[in-house]
Every structure is written in C-alpha cells, then in structure tokens.
C-alpha cells in the first residue's frame, strides 16, 4: 500500500498550546534584543556612513587631475607656468630682491609679449614696480637677475643720471630708475605642477 501525504493549514492565532497566552499575529516592534543592541547598531551605521564619506573623498582627491594643472602659493597669481606676487608696500631694488628671495622666488624677468600683457593687466599701469633688471657697473649692460642680457633691440633703456640704475615696469614700459628709490615690486616663481 502506498503511503498518503496530507497537507493541512494550521491557524495558531489565539492561544498558544504551550503557554495558554494569546500570541500577536505580527509582533509590532517587540524586541527580543536588549536595548544596548540598538545603540550598537546605530553606532555601527554611523561609522559605516563616515567610512563611506571618507572613501568618496579619497576617490575624488586621489583621482588624476587634468594634465597641465599648476598650483601657486596663496596670494600669488598664476599665469602660464609662472606665479606672480605684487607688493603693496615700497622698498629699494635690493630690499625687493631680498624679499623675493625669502619667498623662494626672484624679481620679475619678462620673457615674452604674452607675459608683458599679463603684467600690464595686473598692474593697471598705475604704479611703478621693480623688476629683475639692473645696469651692471662694469660693462654698462642691462642684465636680468638670472644673468642673461636684456635684449635692447626692441626697447631702449636709458639710465637716469649718475649712480646705479635698476629696471621698473611703469605705464606698460620698462624704464631705468635709481636703485635706491622706494618702489613696489613683482616677484616671480615657477608654478608647482600637480
């Protein structure tokens, strides 16, 4: 004889056969865990959120930047691959050169028309600014602070009277001025590639 399998639906609502107490159909927020478990769960959720935020921040920070990104120190202006700083006070040419050196930079060396246009725009032609140009005593040549000679084929510089002469940028031109005069100055340094 073949055995028969019988299926039945049991409705156990109402009293429990073991306890004699009615059992709720769906336990509403009845907890079988101590209260500290809920605190631990909330703390772990908050910790996971913090870790997720940190992971997102690191993925953004560590992502490669577009090629050619450059960085300048605070209060410096970026143009091309150079950083420029304009003083607000006035000093002699030597004091200005020393200040630039303390800033790990040098007085401005103008190399091209695009750079001159940039300097013209940031200085607005209002003030004179020391640049890294000086008339050497021995050869009477205008020389940049990096030792290169100033090309006078396009610009003719006149030295003022007697004494040492240094270059200033004024009214969008380079002129000679007594190095002992107090003038604002422009420092220049290479931008840091990122």
Tokens encoding 20: 């004699």
Unique residue bearing structure tokens 């270059």: 167
Unique residue bearing structure tokens 């605190």: 39
Domain ranges within the chain, ordered by starting residue: 32-63, 70-193
User: What 3-state class would DSSP assign to 160?
Assistant: coil
- Tens place of pLDDT per residue across the chain (194 aa): 567 776 666 565 555 555 555 555 555 555 577 788 788 888 887 888 887 777 666 655 554 445 568 899 999 999 999 999 999 999 999 999 999 999 999 999 998 888 988 998 898 877 899 999 998 776 678 889 998 888 766 666 666 655 678 999 988 888 889 999 999 999 999 999 87
Per DSSP, 81 falls in state: T
Fold of 70-193: Mannose-Binding Protein A; Chain A (3.10.100)
Max Cα distance, the chain (Å): 133
């Amino acid at each position: 004889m073949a055995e028969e399998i019988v299926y039945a639906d049991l409705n156990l609502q109402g009293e429990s056969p073991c306890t004699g107490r009615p059992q709720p159909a769906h336990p509403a927020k009845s907890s079988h865990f101590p209260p500290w478990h809920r605190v631990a769960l909330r703390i772990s959720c908050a910790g996971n959120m913090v870790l997720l935020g940190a992971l997102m921040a690191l993925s953004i920070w560590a992502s490669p930047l577009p090629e050619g990104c450059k960085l300048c120190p605070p209060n410096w202006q970026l143009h091309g691959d150079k950083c420029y700083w304009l003083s607000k006070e006035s000093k002699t040419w030597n004091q200005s050169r020393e200040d630039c050196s303390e800033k790990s930079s040098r007085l401005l060396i103008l190399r091209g028309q695009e750079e001159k246009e940039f300097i013209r725009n940031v200085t607005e032609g209002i003030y004179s600014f020391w640049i890294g140009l000086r008339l050497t005593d021995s050869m009477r040549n205008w020389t940049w602070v990096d030792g290169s000679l100033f090309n006078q084929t396009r610009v003719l510089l006149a030295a003022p009277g007697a004494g040492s002469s240094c270059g200033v940028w004024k009214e969008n031109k380079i002129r000679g001025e007594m190095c002992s005069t107090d003038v604002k100055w422009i420092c220049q340094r290479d931008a840091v590639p990122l």
